[in-house]
Structure 1
Amino acid sequence: MHTPVHASWLNQVEICFSMVQRKVVSPKDFTNLTQVRDRLRGFEGRYNATAQPFQWRFTTSSDLDDLLARLDRRTTDHQEGSSEGSAGTGR
């Protein structure tokens, strides 16, 4: 499988196993190991045919600061919207 180039090898392994767990192994509806093998091989072929190299977008620490500021604004806006919506419910 193609793995992202931005992380250590251990992070890449964890990402790969997490993806396989979510997309292949769950739900656990296998009746034998042959079905598991076939599903894993099928996923590997499809994934490798469509995988693209990972493009890291952060070039400076200011990129990360900008992202965190946007996320903070979104969280604040969401919390304010939630409190306004529950104000009239008597809760």
Structure 2
Amino acid sequence: MVHEWLLAHPGFTPHFTPTYSWWINQVERWFTELQRRRLERGVFCSLDDLKTALGEWIKIWNATARPFQWTRTADQICHYCDRISGPTHYALCRDFRAAVFRAQHPDPPPPASAQSRSLRPMA
């Protein structure tokens, strides 16, 4: 389903975040702040109490919101990502881009003889 959507929207390119690099995603950073500043030591006796506390915290956050400041340069981050993910990241992106290209530029079907050869088990 996701693959079909991505094929229908060629302007979007997926970027595979290495497993231990959640900090790259800014949404994850925001949820970390929510966890640390509001939920970690909170006591909520009902779902309504929790909703109220979250709503109040979000209002305060939005009133004083500032963009997250990167403490590393783009080169330092890319070097780190290369070091921990290596060629796997690039292979996944390359393979996905190739699949999108093939879907957008289908080749004519191969001759029948070529199709039957491709289905034979390898010796």
Q: Into which bin does the TM-score normalised by the smaller protein fall?
A: 0.3 to 0.5
Q: TM-score, normalised by structure 2?
A: 0.36
TM-score by length of 1: 0.47
Higher Rg: 2
